[in-house]
Structure 1
Amino acid sequence: MKVSKIDFSLPTLFISECVFFYIAPKYGDTLLSHISACFDNVAFLHYEPINLHDNFGKVMYNNLQNDGYHMSGFQYCTNRESQISRYINNNFQKVNILTLNEIYNEIKKPELD
């Protein structure tokens, strides 16, 4: 990243959609740890499955597995606490997790129409 002339002091937003679910935890943790160490002011918008032990999660997991996908990061998608722990353990200072339902419920009715 240093070759790219990134200004590590600027506020930076990383966006990840279903990436960490598929990569080995040690590589995901290394990436998160590196990001938290390099950037002075960083935020992560992380869209990943959670609650994979409920009925929907089990069906999704089985369907993906049957289609030949390997979900190496499954262990961090079991619940909110596992996701929060991952970020805390990789030196993120504050972690907040919202489900899509929670986000949807925060949207004012006129905005949905």
Structure 2
Amino acid sequence: MDTAFWTLKVCTDFFRVFYQDEGLLPRKYFEVDFPVIVTRKLHSIKFKSLLSKTNLDLHSEETLQMDGQMLDSKRYAIIGADLRDLPELEEKLKKCNMNTQLPTLLMTECVLVYMTPEQSANLLKWAANNFETAMFINYEQVNMDDRFGQIMIENLRRRQCDLAGVETCKSLESQKERLLSNGWETASAVNMMELYSRLPRAEVSRIESLEFLDEMELLEQLMQHYCLCWATRGGSELGLKEITC
């Protein structure tokens, strides 16, 4: 696929998804995480044969560059960086030959909520300004102003886990507005319960058969407090007029 793929997710989808089907691979896949996390991931890549012996140029000395906080190869790069430090992030992406002219998919999973609203706004603006043809997908909390949301915040705070950006997670509208006010041309959002209800029934049955669940009401409450948001720039170039769930 003649597309760049930039993920800010914690898990390594490159190996979990794309390695299973090389036909799904974009031109290059970039993953960004905290340096300490990247160091652990690099250790796994280096010493687990299933990962180090892929056929995706990770084992080629001609294309592979690897140090304690970064790996760069022809099809995959993982970078240790703090997303709040945009000059450092940009420098490391350039070092790994990020091509901002390609249509690019950017993904974050419970990342922006741990930044202050100003910090996440700066990241979103930076992405919108640097990628003319792009789609941004964000998964994180929503509806955090109600009682259930407040209990979630309190529980996390007791574990010394502060959601610095929770004020942007008040509603689906506030999630969309954040994207639109920071340079993205279109924005949509849906809570995970609504998304789950639109899955094919066969897939729902498969998921629910994996583990017995007798607290469906609690699951529904939880899923109503997480959402999937997406935004685009240059949508016509992406081949997308509108995306609906």
Q: Same fold (TM over 0.5)?
A: yes
Shift of 1:14: 1.4
Q: Which amino acid aligns with 1:18?
A: C
**Structure 1: stretches of 5+ with no match in the other structure:** none
Structure number with larger C-alpha Rg = 2
Query: What code does the residue aligned with 1:72 have?
Result: A
Q: Which residue of 1 aligns with 2:203?
A: 111
Q: Which has a greater percent of helix?
A: 1
Larger RCO: 1 or 2 (CA < 8 Å, sep 6+) = 1
Supply the distance in 1 between the matched residues of 2:182 and 2:135 (Cα, whole angstroms).
13
- C-alpha distance in structure 2 between counterparts of 1:71 and 1:98, whole Å: 21
- The residue aligned with 2:148 is 56
Q: Distance in 2 between matches of 1:14 and 1:62?
A: 30
Distance in 2 separating the partners of 1:9 and 1:108:
36
User: 2:155 matched to 1:69?
Assistant: no
The one-letter code of the counterpart of 1:9 is Q
User: Aligned runs of 1:1-113 on 2, under 5 Å?
Assistant: 1-113=93-205
TM-score by length of 2: 0.44
**C-alpha distance in 1, partners of 2:178/2:158?**
27
| Distance apart, 1:32 and its partner CA | 0.5
> In structure 1, what is the Cα distance between the partners aligned to 2:177 and 2:169?
11
Q: SS at the partner of 2:185?
A: coil
How many residues are aligned here? Answer: 113
Alpha-carbon distance, 1:84 to partner: 1.1
Deviation digits for residues 52-92 of structure 1 (CA, Å, limit 9, x no counterpart) = 01222111011011111221101101111211111011110
Moved over 4 A (4+): none
Which SS does the other structure have where 1:92 is aligned?
Answer: coil
TM-score scaled by structure 1? 0.91
Q: Percent of aligned positions with the same letter in both sequences?
A: 29
Identify unmatched segments of 5+ residues in structure 2.
Answer: 1-92, 206-245
> Which has more strand, going by share of residues?
2
- In structure 1, distance between residues paired with 2:203 and 2:140: 25
Shift of the alpha carbon at 1:112?
2.1
In 2, the alpha carbon distance for the partners of 1:59 and 1:107 equals 29
